[in-house]
Amino acid sequence: MTGAFPTRRVGQTSLRLPVLGFGTAPLGGMFQAVDGTEGAATLAQALDAGMTYVDTAPFYGFGLSERRVGDGLRGQSHVLSTKVGRLLAPGMTPAAAAMGWPEPLPFHPVFDYSYDAIMRSFEASLHRLGLEKIDILYVHDIGEVTHGENAQKHFREMAQGGYRALDELRRAGHVTAIGLGVNEAQVCLDALNVGDWDIFLLAGRYTLLEQDPLDDLLPQCVERSISLVIGGPFNSGILVGGDTWNYDAAPDTVRAKVRRLEAVCGEYGVPLPAAALQFPLAHEAVTSVLPGLRNRQELADALAWAKHPIPPQLWQTLKDQGLLHPNAPTPPSSSSPYLSPAP
């Protein structure tokens, strides 16, 4: 390993994560197939750079990401998270491309948050990964964004059965930490009444573009010693020059705000993606930031943005223009928080 990042503790566990992690939905071919050789090289370079926290899920390529991640991590020092909530059944679904996976493995996902399904999913992930340990286990995509009118049914299934499986796995030492991996803050707040969680992976909801959880979820996480991993720091691509937001075409209001953010960053000579990547890490609840990376060029860009100096005046200007929550913590100096000692 030629690089290293500061680490932060996960909840009240013994586990520590590097502040910059590696999200592997793209390695499962999200929206666009990824060559296996390029994916392996990207993961290897990320590990060498110090991005030793790697997140995957059965849903990513219907097992493809887990297989590629396991092959890349075997024999390497790492922290690994995967997810439960979808069982993979044999047989390709014609809806795979519509789900975002143009070239997945020949399976189809079935939602199941019950006790038995969580146990089966955990064991199946170990087989696909070819690893003996999973460090963090997240309940994946449980909430109204994914399930609509069925959300309450699935949540009850998790609360009345699935959580017990997660807690048993944690108590037995098969996993070190448990949590949710979701794209909405409200379900994390709801889950606080279910049991004792160590960590939440929240994608796209605490970013340079939107900070609503600052008023409710983040204070609760600090009070309860629950760590946050921030996924989707680029909001599905809109903050890195793309045109998607929330995995769909960005509306005009979002595009307009991004143009204003970009203009302020330009005044200070800072790439917008650098500000987007560094902003979330300033909050004390945030343990790691997890961009999804498709190839070695995207990895090189992310590493450069993570280290780019940003003057504190930039953050204040964003607040003055109403582009950033007035109470949002921001990096206190021009030195990147990815280079600062861990709290």
Half-sphere exposure of 158 (CA within 13 A, CB side): 30
The enclosing H or E element of 23 equals strand 22-23
Walk me through the domains of the chain, giving residue ranges and CATH numbers: 7-320 (3.20.20.100)
- Write a three-state SS string for 129-188: HCCCCCCEEEEECCCHHHHHHHHHHHHHHHHHHHHHHHHHHHHCCCCCEEEEEECCCHHH
The enclosing H or E element of 287 equals strand 286-290
List of the chain residues with pLDDT < 70: 340-343
φ, ψ dihedrals at 236, nearest 5°? 70, 10
Q: Mark whether 60 is an active-site residue.
A: yes
- Bridge pairing between strands 227-231 and 286-290: parallel
- pLDDT reported for residue 157: 97
- pLDDT reported for residue 343: 52
pTM of the predicted protein model = 0.96
- pLDDT reported for residue 341: 61
d(Cα 248, Cα 230) in Å, to the nearest integer?
Answer: 19
Determine which one of 35, 48, 55, 198 is catalytic: 55
Residues 6+ apart with CB under 8 A from 76: 47, 52
- pLDDT reported for residue 243: 86
Structure tokens at 128: 């696909």
- pLDDT reported for residue 244: 82
Q: Mark whether 206 is an active-site residue.
A: no
Specify the DSSP class assigned to residue 200: E
- pLDDT reported for residue 67: 98
Determine which one of 53, 83, 138, 198 is catalytic: 83
Q: Mark whether 55 is an active-site residue.
A: yes
- The CA–CA distances, whole Å, from 156 to 82, 143, 241, 262, 272 equal 22, 11, 39, 42, 40
Determine which one of 53, 60, 113, 138 is catalytic: 60
